[in-house]
Amino acid sequence: MIQKLKSEIAKVVIGHEELIDAMIIALLCRGHILVEGVPGVAKTTAVNALATALGFDFKRVQFTPDLLPSDIIGNEILDLKSNEYKIKHGPIFTNLLLADEINRSSPKVQSALLEAMAEGQVTIGESSFKLQEPFMVLATANPIDQEGTYELPEASLDRFMIKVVVGYNTPQEELLIMEISDRKKFDKIEQVMGKEELEELQEQLEAVYIDDALKRYIVTIIETTRDPKANGLEELAAYIEFGASPRGTIATYRASKAFALLSGRDFVTPADIARSVYLTLPHRLKLSYQAAIDGVESQAIIEKILIDTAAP
């Protein structure tokens, strides 16, 4: 079933296997995903393809500088006939919400998603409303060094289970994209999964076995991001201001089980954990100015930690 879903998305997304896997993992784990990349690398296309293949309710919000929080969650509106306030629900009341170019809007607007992402509910006025399940935010972002963008606050980043950076296609993939676009016809995406099938997969995910030694391995990696000196990596201490949060621990644990499921296994291996941490931890590390000066990035820090942390 997972392979069918991947095949449908691959009809319109050439290459970018990591992005396709990451979206499916976030879906299985009931998490949210942030996709970052320069314009034109199929970020929005991939999200649209996932929604079509699932057949879920899907809404898109184009984040712009003039967007307001009420444009996302809804608002209280005065009904002139009854002289009473009524609630108008916003586009967040859906299964899949595409927050397109999320870093084009101010942090105040970005914060409108926080309650929904963490608690699965929205507060409008004095009333709270539960969101339908499944609910997933798929946000796209342009690199923060481009003009007219806002860096996402740490509180917003931490609520994304996964962040994946999408680069350019290979020359071979680029050639295929060019040929398909010349024909002006991609294959039609068919719905291959519904809510019941997704729930079955999520139940399978819960049944995936992870050994206690591997659980301790995950915790050791997380602890090393917080206190590199105590774990024998003193050279990293100058680069990390704050390490990964407990959400990072949970995200890594669940993502490693999802990677096992994608590989057709019912048990987790150290390789599953190694693949997971590159998606779940880099955006949760707050690096120092020294890291910026020396050109050290989060991915490189995670790689160093993996190399120096003995796997079970």
CA separation for the pair 270, 268 (Å, rounded):
7
Residues 20 and 107 in one domain: yes
Coil/strand/helix, residue 124: strand
Q: Kindly state the percentage of the chain with pLDDT values over 90.
A: 38
Q: What is the pLDDT of residues 194-245, one digit of tens each?
A: 888 888 999 999 999 999 999 999 999 999 999 998 888 888 989 999 999 9
Asked, for residue 200, whether it belongs to a domain, the answer is no
Q: What is the CATH number of the domain that holds 281?
A: 1.10.8.80
Q: What is the pLDDT of residues 139-171, one digit of tens each?
A: 988 776 566 677 788 888 889 999 998 888 888
Q: What is the pLDDT of residues 113-137, one digit of tens each?
A: 888 888 888 888 778 889 888 899 9
Asked, for residue 195, whether it belongs to a domain, the answer is no
Residues 303 and 212 in one domain: yes
**For residue 184, what pLDDT is reported?**
64
Residues 29 and 143 in one domain: yes
Residues 25 and 166 in one domain: yes
**For residue 82, what pLDDT is reported?**
76
CA separation for the pair 14, 63 (Å, rounded):
26
Residues 167 and 246 in one domain: no
pLDDT average, residue stretch 36-63 = 83
Instruction: Say which range, 20-34, 36-50, 235-249, 252-266, has the weakest mean pLDDT.
Output: 36-50
Residues 178 and 212 in one domain: no
Residues 125 and 248 in one domain: no
Domain of residue 281: give its range.
208-308
Strand order in the sheet with 58-62: 58-62, 96-100, 136-141, 33-36, 162-165
pTM reported for the whole predicted model? 0.87
Residues 43 and 96 in one domain: yes
Q: How confident is the model at residue 293 (pLDDT cuts 50, 70, 90)?
A: very high
- Residue 67 token pair: 């967007």
Domains in the chain, number: 2
pLDDT average, residue stretch 76-83 = 76
Residues 148 and 219 in one domain: no
Decide which of 131, 148, 182 is a domain's last residue.
182
Asked, for residue 203, whether it belongs to a domain, the answer is no
- Residue 175 token pair: 């050639």
Residues 132 and 221 in one domain: no
Burial 75-89 (b: 16+ CB within 10 A, else e): beeeeeeeeeeeeee
Q: What is the pLDDT of residues 175-199, one digit of tens each?
A: 887 877 766 666 788 888 888 888 8
Asked, for residue 201, whether it belongs to a domain, the answer is no
Whether the Cβ atoms of residue 134 and residue 56 lie closer than 8 Å to each other: yes
Q: What is the CATH number of the domain that holds 140?
A: 3.40.50.300
